[in-house]
Structure formats: structure tokens, C-alpha cells
Structure 1
Amino acid sequence: MEQVKVLLVEDENVLAGVVKETLAMKGFDVTIATNGVEGLQLFQLLQPSICIVDIMMPKKDGITLVTEIRAINDQIPLIFLTAKSEVQDVIKGFQVGADDYMKKPFSIEELIMRMQALLKRVQAKPTAKKSDTQYLLIGDYQFDYPRQTLHHPNGVQRLSQREADILKMLADNLHQITARKDMLMEIWGDDSFFNARNMDVYMTRMRKFLQYDERIQIVNVRGKGYKLIV
């Protein structure tokens, strides 16, 4: 079996060494970057399967690095490491595209479990069928799911794969509740707290994309899920 490539971006040499050694013993192929600039270079060179990124780093911080990685690849699993504990840091991490978040000090065994869960989600995710080329009409918008574009007289919004998946599920259940758990399992692969917070960020983003038609609402049905109304 081919080894899973891991990019670890961490400027604490001792911690990076311990994590690399432990992951290598579990069969992972780990490359270390010691700052955000080197991290982006190695990401483009190695095309890893998963990234583990510290937030506080020299030259380029982890938030900026992950934002740049997400512009290149919307699906690669990303885990943040941080010594900070403030809620706003967690939220900021999700806003730029983190899949999970671990506070230092952490259990490496727990890190491995979270890595395996994220990798399993990506492997299980089906690829969109490019033959489904028809537009979906959502109010004044035309939504092209295979091409991940949202068209409106004001312009065209390019969507990430995850944004397109969310809108597709909502549109397929127009005026009906799309269960929160169903969305998490279908799009993220599990319904953990971290993914639930991540989905809340995406919903805020989707409302912004649909703001030019005042009839359109994405309603949060407390305790159940979301409803797209036109």
C-alpha cells in the first residue's frame, strides 16, 4: 500500500520531530516545513494527502497558508495546531477552511485518529458526474452544479466543491428541511462538533452568495437542519 503523504508545518523543532517520528512508525510519509513560506512551496511540490499546520509561525502564519492552500485544493484535509484557546481562533480557522483543530499539548494518538477519519471521508466522497450539465433555477439564480458556478444578472459566483455540494442538497430539497446530520455525513463524512461549526460558516457564506434575490432564504430550523425557501 502506498504511504499517505503528510505535510507538517510546525516551527517547534522538538514537537515536529516527535510527531514525524510517531507518524512514521504508523506508516505515514511525513515532510516537515518550519514556516509558512516553506509550507506552501512543499505543498505545491509534494501534493500531500493531508496537511497539519501550526497557526503561529514565522514568515507566514498558518491562517494565511491555509487560505492559499484552499485556493489551490478545496478537498485536502487540513488540521490546525495551536497553543491558543480563544473561541475566535477556532472560528477563524474554520472560516479559512480547516477541517479540524487541536490545541497544544495534544495526544498524538488522538491526532492520528482524526487524520484517519478525515482521510476516510475524502476517499469515500463520490466524484460529481460531469454528464449532469443542466442548470438548477433558484429564484433569479441559475446554478450549474457540475461546473460549480452560480449565475445572476449581477455576475457569476465561482463555488468551491463543498459550497456546490451544500447548495445542491438544499436545492434538491427546496422548501423542505434538509437534515443537519444528513448534510454533515454526506459532505464532511461525519457529524463532529468541528464539522458542524464549519458548516455554520459555509451557510453564512451561501446566504451572502444568494443575497441579490430577496425572496431567497436559508432558514435554520433549530434542532433539525436547514430549509431553502424561494
Structure 2
Amino acid sequence: MEQLKVLFVDDDLNLGSFVTTILETDYNYKVHFQNTLLGIDSIVQTLAPNIIIFDVEIGKENGMDKAQDIIAKHPHIPLLFVSSHTEDDFIIRGINIGGNAYIPKPLSIPVLVSYIQRFTTNKQGQFLSVSGYQLDLQTNDLFHENNLLKKLSPFEKNALELLMENPNKIVSKDQLFEKLWEHSLVPENNASLHNTLSKLRDLFKDQKVLQIDTVRGVGYVLNTHVG
């Protein structure tokens, strides 16, 4: 199984070192610890974490304001707030801006891990990932490097799901017809299939790391060997 990636943002260096060591040693997580907000947008983009843990105050900066911005840009990444501030108004704001949980300090590692597992176990099962693209199977949202590209139509989602489950392999027209219409090839649905695949191709043309190729008379291939 792929290592779970955690981004931990807190200005307490000792806490950061302690939490990082425990999560990596005892739980085999890959942890990136950050004690400032400097370059945080780039870090989220590059690391593509499975979950983010965020202090509500980072030095003199307001962690909640930045977390709100991150949640807006990357709504599919769960974010947990941690803080010594346990007043109701802090907790209420943290949840209202989209935080998945608000965990008081001092941190209990077992409690923290239980929240990490709660908000990542289901997530890992609901996403398909190929070459930096992620398809949310529950919401039909397609992301590239954590940026939302489009909410797919049911036809687009079902066709792309089948292709992403079989990268670099031929997916026959019969397989696609079964996935989209729950029956075998029907000629009058050919135009709808071609239109669906054309829309998906347009989503990949800018990044040039994926493309849908036609295998004449057989089917289609989601090709990751582009360029």
C-alpha cells in the first residue's frame, strides 16, 4: 500500500519533531513538518498530502485564515486543526470554515492517529489516481495535482473510471457500453460515446501527461506514455 502522506504545520519545533518521529516510526506515515506558512501553497501542491494537520496560530500568523484558503483550493484533502485554544468560538470557526476536526493540545498521538485514519481510510478508497490526475468516485470531481478541473457528468465519470482502472490497456467498446449503458454495443449510442471521450480528451490536452488513444476497431487506451 502506498505510504500515507501527512502535512503537519505548527510553529512548535519540538512538537513537530516529536509527532513526525512517532508517525513515521510507529505508523509508517510520510510526514512533512512545516513550522511557518512560507511557501505553504507550493508545498501542498507538490506534496499532495492525504491529510493536513494545521495549528490555528503559526507564529504571529493566523493559521485559520490560511487553512480556509487551502480548504477552498483543495476541498478533497481533509484538514485537522490542532490548538491549545479550546474556547468555543475557536472550535466553531474551525469547523465552520471546513476543518474536519478540532483537536486540543497537548496532543494525544493515539487520538490524532484515530482522526487521521478516520478521514483517510475512506478517502483512499474513493479516489482513482493516474499521472497526477485524481477522480473522486463519490462526487465525480476530477483533479489535477490537487486542483479541481471539472465536475464530470455521469457518462464522463463512468468512462474515465473504467479507463483509469486500466491505464495503458485496451478497453473495448463493449466494456464501455456495459459501463455506461449496462448493455452491449448498440450502434445508435456510438455518437454519445464519441462525444463523451472527446470531452475527456480536452481535459488532458494542456498537461500532456495523459491521452486517450483510439485502437481502431477494438476500443480505447488511456496512455500514460505521452511525449
TM class, shorter-length: 0.5 to 0.7
Matched, 1:15 2:54: no
CA contact (8 A) 1:6 1:52 kept: yes
Q: Tell me the distance in 1 between the aligned counterparts of 2:139 and 2:89.
A: 34
What is the alpha-carbon distance in structure 1 between the residues aligned to residue 53 and residue 41 of structure 2? 12
Give 1:35 deviation, angstroms.
1.4
Structure 1: gaps (5+ residues)? 134-230
Letter in 2 for 1:52: I
Provide the secondary structure at the position in 1 that maps to 2:28.
coil
TM-score normalized by the length of structure 2: 0.55
CA–CA separation in structure 1 for the residues paired with 2:117 and 2:39: 25
Deviations for 1:73-127, whole angstroms, at most 9, x for unmatched residues?
1111110010101000001101211001110012101101110010023234433
Alignment coverage as a number of residue pairs: 133
**Conserved in 1, the CA contact under 8 Å of 2:54 and 2:82?**
yes
Unaligned ranges ≥5, structure 2 = 127-136, 141-151, 156-227
Contact preservation (8 Å) 1:37, 1:60: no
1:127 aligns with 2:127: no
Task: Say whether the 8 Å CA contact 2:8–2:54 is kept in structure 1.
Answer: yes
Separation of aligned partners in 2, 1:38 and 1:15: 21
The AA in structure 2 aligned to 1:5 is: K
Equivalent AA in structure 1 for residue 8 of structure 2? L
Amino acid at match of 1:4: L
1:108 aligns with 2:109: yes
Alignment partners' CA distance in 2, 1:57 and 1:87: 20
Which has the greater radius of gyration? 2
Q: Report if aligned partners of 2:71, 2:79 keep a CA contact under 8 Å in 1.
A: no
1:55 is matched with: 56
The SS at the match of 2:38 is helix
Query: What pairs up with 1:2-81 in 2 under 5 angstroms?
Result: 2-25=2-25, 26-58=27-59, 60-81=61-82
Tell me if the contact between 1:53 and 1:79 (Cα under 8 Å) persists in the aligned partners.
yes
SS at match of 1:30: strand
- Name the Cα RMSD after superposition: 1.7
Moved more, 63-72 or 116-125: 116-125
Give, as a single letter, the amino acid of the residue that structure 1 aligns with 2:120.
Answer: L
Aligned counterparts of 1:20 and 1:38: Cα–Cα separation in 2:
20
**1:139-178 mapped onto 2 (5 Å cutoff):** none
The structural deviation recorded for 1:132 is 4.1
Shift of 1:46: 1.1
Alpha-carbon offset, residue 59 of structure 1: 5.6
Q: Please identify runs of 4+ aligned residues in structure 1 that moved more than 6 A.
A: none
TM-score, normalised via structure 1 length: 0.54
The structure showing larger relative contact order (alpha-carbon pairs under 8 Å, at least 6 residues apart) is 1
